[in-house]
Amino acid sequence: MKNPIKSLNKIFDSRVRLGIMSALMVNDETDFNSLKQLLEVTDGNLASHIKALEKELYIIVDKQFVGRKPRTSYMISNAGRKAFEKHLDGLEGLMKE
Amino acid sequence: MKDKQEYMDDLKEIRSIMERSTRFISLSGLSGVFVGIIALAGGGFAWWYLKDTGFLTGETLFRASGELLSKIKLFLITDGIIMLILALISAVFFSFFTARRKGLKLWDHTTRRVLINLGIPLLSGGIFLIVLIMNNLLYLLAPVSLLFYGLALINAGNYMLSEIRYLGFSEVLLGIMAAIFMEYGLFLWITGFGVLHIVYGIIMYRKYDLAK
């Protein structure tokens, strides 16, 4: 890799987004509360970062109804996985320098 | 631009989140040690209680009947239920403190996943054990409980600390031995549930609990 910094993705500069992507990389699907517990952030904060990732089409939002309660779960998209892996490669490249 | 240290922290954070979000890491080695002690005590008590009945040497293991059989059955059920309750209490107790020390929630999706993956084989095994007792097939209790417990650990091992899978394989191995050498059933049961739990508990305590 010539310039690892070029592989870094601005979207993942935020720790919360980094956390969401990390959790979704290793889980088939994760719900809002699990992410909230894991990352220790407020509802509003988490929701805004999820929205940003959704806008980039990096995550897939799946809304379902369990009885009458809405249940939202999140999955990583193929584009998201690729983007995150590239970002990880960039980070590792930086460390090697 | 962030500096190099910040990127290094990013990587650490990624690793930690991946680990925390998939594995149930609140299990303390101390639970293993205590469960082992409970099994040693319960198994030893059974040994002491049964040694005069000829049940252990094979004389009546396959042929116990009448009053002796009901006596042994009642004893094994009581002893088993007491051990089960004490073991569950100690597992929950130590996990609670380990979770708190590591700053984790005890009840989250990793806990649920582990309980489901442990629960399905354990519940099937438990029902199977009850059926065995109902049919007076007491000599199968040791191998069957070892086998199902081992398979449950292997099944849930992917979502737990890595040593758990090896404990599972060891229990399965002992279960097979107990099925072949049935006269040694109780001895192998005590080895599997008592000695192995203590050994693995100490290994895991030294590796994980003392480390942090």
pLDDT, tens digit, 9 for 90 and up, residues B96-118: 998 888 777 788 778 988 999 99
Total count of domains within chain A:
1
Q: Output the pTM of the full model.
A: 0.77
The CATH number of residue A17's host domain is 1.10.10.10
Is B152 part of a structural domain of the chain?
Answer: yes
Interface touch B20/A38, C-beta < 8 Å:
yes
What pLDDT was estimated at residue B135? Answer: 93
Would B19 be classed as within a structural domain?
no
Location of structure tokens 């090697």: A96
Contacts of A94 in chain B (CB under 8 A): 4, 7
Under 8 Å CB-to-CB from B102, ≥6 apart: which residues? B25, B26, B212
Number of domains in chain B: 1
pLDDT bin (cut points 50, 70, 90) of residue B59 is low
Q: Name which of B118, B117, B145, B120 is nearest B131 in CA terms.
A: B145
Q: Tell me, what's the ipTM?
A: 0.82
Chain A CB within 8 Å of residue B102 CB:
no
Amino acid B79: pLDDT: 97
Question: What is the chain A residue with the closest CA to B9?
Answer: A15
Whether residue B11 is contained in a domain is answered as: no
Give me the domain span that covers residue B113: 27-209
Question: What is the pLDDT at residue B173?
Answer: 98
The answer to the question of residue B20 being in a domain is: no
pLDDT score, position B144 = 98
Compare all CA atoms of chain A with the CA of B1 and give the residue at the minimum distance. Answer: A13
pLDDT at position A13: 87
Per-residue pLDDT band for B1 (boundaries 50, 70, 90) equals low
Tens of pLDDT along A21-41? Answer: 999 998 878 888 888 888 889
pLDDT of residue A2: 58
**By the 8 A CB rule, do A55 and A29 touch?**
no
Instruction: Please indicate if any CB of chain B lies within 8 Å of the CB of A30.
Output: yes
Q: What percentage of chain B has pLDDT greater than the value 90?
A: 64
Residue B2 within a domain: no
Please state, rounded to an integer, the average pLDDT across all residues of chain B. 91
- Residue B68 placed within a domain: yes
Residue A57, domain extent: 4-96
The predicted pLDDT at position A81 comes to: 93
Residue B7 resides in a domain: no
> Quick one: which H or E segment has residue B149?
helix B141-157
